[in-house]
Chain A
Amino acid sequence: SQTIHQWPATLVQPVGSPLSLECTVEGTSNPNLYWYRQAAGRGLQLLFYSVGIGQISSEVPQNLSASRPQDRQFILSSKKLLLSDSGFYLCACPLGRLLDSPLHFGNGTRLTVT
Chain B
Amino acid sequence: ELKVEQNPLFLSMQEGKNYTIYCNYSTTSDRLYWYRQDPGKSLESLFVLLSNGAVKQEGRLMASLDTKARLSTLHITAAVHDLSATYFCAVDFTGTYKYIFGTGTRLKVLA
Contact = CB atoms under 8 A, between A and B. Distances in A.
Interface of A: 32, 34, 36, 42-44, 46, 49, 51, 57, 59, 90, 92, 95, 99-108
A99 B102 CA distance: 20
B25 interface: no
13 contacts: A36-B101, A42-B104, A43-B88, A44-B88, A44-B90, A51-B97, A99-B92, A100-B31, A100-B48, A101-B48, A102-B35, A103-B90, A107-B41
B107 to A, nearest CB: 14
Contact of B97 (A57, A95, A104): A57
Interface in B50-107: 50, 88, 90, 92, 97-104
Nearest to B4: A43
Interface residues of B, number: 20
Contact of B99 (A34, A42, A57, A107): A34
